[in-house]
Amino acid sequence: MQETRLDTARIRAARRVIDPVFLDTPLYRCEALEPGLGCTVSVKLETANPVRSFKGRGTEVVASLLADNASRAAVCASAGNLGQALAWSGRGRGLDITVVASRSATRAKLDRIRALDAGLELVDGDHEVARERAAAIARYDGIRLVEDSLDIETCEGAATIGLELVDTAPSFDAVLIALGGGALATGVGHVVKALAPEVEVICVQPLGAPALTHSWRRRRVVTTDSTDTIADGVAGRRPIPAVLDDLLLVADDAVLVQEASITAGMRMLLDHAGLVVEPSAALGIAAILEDRDRFAHRWVERRPTATAAPTATGRR
Amino acid sequence: MQETRLDTARIRAARRVIDPVFLDTPLYRCEALEPGLGCTVSVKLETANPVRSFKGRGTEVVASLLADNASRAAVCASAGNLGQALAWSGRGRGLDITVVASRSATRAKLDRIRALDAGLELVDGDHEVARERAAAIARYDGIRLVEDSLDIETCEGAATIGLELVDTAPSFDAVLIALGGGALATGVGHVVKALAPEVEVICVQPLGAPALTHSWRRRRVVTTDSTDTIADGVAGRRPIPAVLDDLLLVADDAVLVQEASITAGMRMLLDHAGLVVEPSAALGIAAILEDRDRFAHRWVERRPTATAAPTATGRR
C-alpha cells in the first residue's frame, strides 16, 4: 500500500490516550438481520458511550494533545456528533470548547452540546457555512480549530475502530464504512489495508450528498452546491484534498445509496437488532439492500455506529 | 458477609469459559437521563451481543461444563432470553437444546430460539408451567435440566457483571438490579457485597409479579397464584428457596414498581439514551422515578440490560 497520512503505530499509540469508555466496543454477529440481507452480518456498535458516537475516539486524541500543550480552548464545526464529543473530551480536561453548528442541525444533539458546557454558536446555512465560521473564530481568538477528517488526530481516533475489527474479528470479506468527511473511511480503511489487505473496503454515501464519492471516482475534488439527505452526519459538499488522497489509497469502492434504502436500513436495525441508529449509521445496511447479489452467500459482518458509521464486512 | 452459594474465585474462573462477545459490556454515564431522574446515572448495556441479554454469560458456563462432560443435550424453561442464550451456547458446542416456553411468550424471542436450531416446545400456561414441563422432559430423556437461578452456573455467569461493575466503575452508592428468578440479583449482589460492601444493593420487581420481593421481606418463600405485568422476563410465581436464602444475604432492599413506571422508564431510555429495552430492563429507572427523593443528589449509575436487568448505582 502507498503511504497515507496515517501510521499504524501512531494509531496504536492513540488508543492509550483515549478514555476506555470509547474503546473495545461490542462486535457481534447479528443473525436476525441476515434473512433480510442475504448474507452473514456482524455489528460493531459505537453508540453505547457518553456521546453516542465514535467521534469521542478522535476528540480524546485531540484534547489530550491540547492539554499536554497547555492549551485552553478549541473550536469546531459540527453537525452534532463531533461537537458533543469535543465538548465531552474538553470538559474533562478543563478546555473551553466552542461548537459552531447549522441552525438546522438535530435539536437533541444541540441540546446535548449545551449540556456538556460547550459554547454553541448557530449559523444560518449548512455544515460548510459552519466550517467557515469555526475557522474565523479560531483565527480571531487564536485558538485551535479542530477540523474533522483534515486533522490527523480525528482520523487516528476513528482508525482505532479498525484495529479492534482486525484484532478481534474472524477474517471477513468486506467492510462497509459510512462516508462523510472521510476520517472514518480513511482511518478504518488504512488499518484494514495495512493489516488485512485482502478485505474489501467499501465506502457508502447518500446519493443526496455524493461529493466525496464523486471525487473518489474522478480522482479529483468534486464539490456540490447543496446536499439533500436525511443522513445529516455525512452531508458535506466540499471534500478535503488530503483526505481524498488517502481515500484513493485505501478504498476499493465507493457507492451511493438512495434515501429509501437508508430509512429501510434504520427500520431493519430497529426491528431486528433492537438498535436505534441515526441515518448515517444505516448506510452500510442500505448498501447491502441495494445490491444483495454482490454480498449474497458471503459471510458478511457489518458495523453500525448509531451516530455515524455503519460498516459491513463479509467474513470468509 | 455470611456465605452465599456463590464464590468470588469461581466467578472469576467463570469469566474464562464465557465467549468474550458477552463480556466487558459498555458501562457509561448517561447524562441525558439525569435531568429526568434527579441523580447521576450510568448505564451498563447487556444487549449488544448475539442473544440480546446477559443470559449468555450463564449459559456459556453451563454449556462449557456440559461439553467437558461429553453431554449431548439439555433442556430449559424460558420466557425467551434464557432459551435464546442456551440455544446459542449449545449450538456452538454441538449440544441438542430443547426450550420449553409459554405459548404467550414474546413471538420474536420464540422465533429467534427456533432460528438458533433449538427444539421449541410451547405449553399452555405461564412460565411456571413451562418449568414443570422442562423438568419432565429432563427426567424422561435423562438429560440436563438447566434451571435459571437455581443452577449455580447461571448465577455465576450473571455475577461476572458484578465483577465488571466493581472492577471498572468509580465507586458508587447503589446498584439497582431487576429481580426475576434471582440469578442476576444474587450474582451481582454477591460480588458487590464481597468487594464493595458499602454499596447499597437494591432489587426491583414489578408490583404485578412480587413473589420473590414478598419472600425477601417475610424471610420465607411466598408464592402467588398469578402474575400480571408487562415485564415478562421477571414474571415468576414460585421463588426458589436456595435463591431466597442468598438474596437475604446480599440485598439491602427490594422494591416493587408500578406498570406505568416501567413503561415510563422504557420511554426515557428510548428518548434520552437511544436504547430499546424490554420492560424488565426498565425496572431500575422505574424505581428511581417512583422514589426520586431517595436518590436525589446522589451520584447514581444504572445498568439496563435490555433483556433483563437494569441496575442503578449511586456513585459517591
Residues 6+ apart with CB under 8 A from B125: B102
Segment holding A200, helix H or strand E? strand A200-206
At B310 the pLDDT is 38
Summarised one tens digit per residue, pLDDT across range A204-213 is 999 999 999 9
Number of CB atoms found within 10 A of residue B70's CB = 6
At B299 the pLDDT is 58
Residue for grid cell 449540556: A115
Q: Which of A85, A132, A137 is nearest to A113 (CA)?
A: A85
Share of chain B above pLDDT 90, in %: 88
Contact with chain B for residue A49, Cβ under 8 A? yes
Cβ within 8 Å, pair A274-B25: no
Confidence of residue B283 (pLDDT cuts 50, 70, 90): very high
Whether residue A302 is predicted with pLDDT greater than 80 in this model: the reply is no
At A2 the pLDDT is 78
Whether residue B171 is predicted with pLDDT greater than 90 in this model: the reply is no
Average pLDDT, integer, range B261-286: 96
Contact with chain A for residue B183, Cβ under 8 A? no
Q: Do the bridges between strand B299-303 and strand B311-315 make them parallel or antiparallel, or are there none, so unpaired?
A: antiparallel
Residue for grid cell 464519492: A213
Q: Which of B21, B48, B50 sits opposite A48 (nearest CB)?
A: B48
**Mutation site for B-interface testing, chosen from A28, A43, A268, A278 by largest number of B Cβ within 10 Å:** A28
Q: Give DSSP secondary structure letters for A32-92.
A: GGHHHHTS--EEE---SSTTSSTHHHHHHHHHHHHHHTT--EEEEE-SSHHHHHHHHHHHT
Contact with chain A for residue B190, Cβ under 8 A? no
Q: Which of B20, B29, B168 sits opposite A50 (nearest CB)?
A: B29
Cβ within 8 Å, pair A48-B52: no
Which chain B residue has its CA at the smallest distance from A35's CA? Answer: B115
- pTM for the structure as a whole: 0.91
Q: Which of A20, A45, A50 sits opposite B48 (nearest CB)?
A: A45
Contact with chain A for residue B315, Cβ under 8 A? no
- Is it true that domain B8-53+152-315 has CATH number 3.40.1280.10? no
Contact with chain A for residue B48, Cβ under 8 A? yes
Annotation: CATH topology of B55-146: Rossmann fold (3.40.50)
Tell me phi and psi for residue A18, to 5 degrees.
-90, 130
How many A/B residue pairs have CB atoms within 8 Å?
56
Tell me which chain A residues have a C-beta less than 8 angstroms from the C-beta of B233.
none
Tell me phi and psi for residue B68, to 5 degrees.
-60, -30
Q: Do the bridges between strand B200-206 and strand B299-303 make them parallel or antiparallel, or are there none, so unpaired?
A: unpaired
Q: How far apart (Å, rounded) are the C-alpha atoms in residues B142 and B151?
A: 17
Summarised one tens digit per residue, pLDDT across range B306-316 is 333 334 444 33
At A299 the pLDDT is 58
- Average predicted confidence (pLDDT) for chain B: 92
Tell me which chain A residues have a C-beta less than 8 angstroms from the C-beta of B116.
31
At B57 the pLDDT is 98
Domain map of chain A by residue range?
A: 8-53+152-315, 55-146
Tell me phi and psi for residue A52, to 5 degrees.
60, 30
At A171 the pLDDT is 76
Summarised one tens digit per residue, pLDDT across range B214-272 is 999 999 999 999 999 999 999 989 999 999 999 999 999 999 999 999 999 999 999 99
Contact with chain A for residue B28, Cβ under 8 A? yes
At A300 the pLDDT is 53
Q: How far apart (Å, rounded) are the C-alpha atoms in residues B58 and B82?
A: 9
At B309 the pLDDT is 36
Q: How far apart (Å, rounded) are the C-alpha atoms in residues A87 and A81?
A: 10
Whether residue A310 is predicted with pLDDT greater than 90 in this model: the reply is no
Check if B8-53+152-315 and B55-146 are the same fold: yes
Contact with chain A for residue B170, Cβ under 8 A? no
Whether residue A306 is predicted with pLDDT greater than 60 in this model: the reply is no
- For A301-310, B16-25, B106-115, B255-264, which range has the lowest pLDDT when averaged over its residues? A301-310
- From A31's Cα to the closest Cα of chain B, the distance in A is 7
Q: What is the ipTM of this complex?
A: 0.89
Share of chain A above pLDDT 90, in %: 88
Q: Do B63 and B92 touch, CB atoms closer than 8 A? A: yes
Summarised one tens digit per residue, pLDDT across range B128-145 is 999 999 999 999 999 999
Q: How far apart (Å, rounded) are the C-alpha atoms in residues A117 and A96?
A: 9
- Nine cell digits for residue A134: 469555526
Whether residue A108 is predicted with pLDDT greater than 70 in this model: the reply is yes
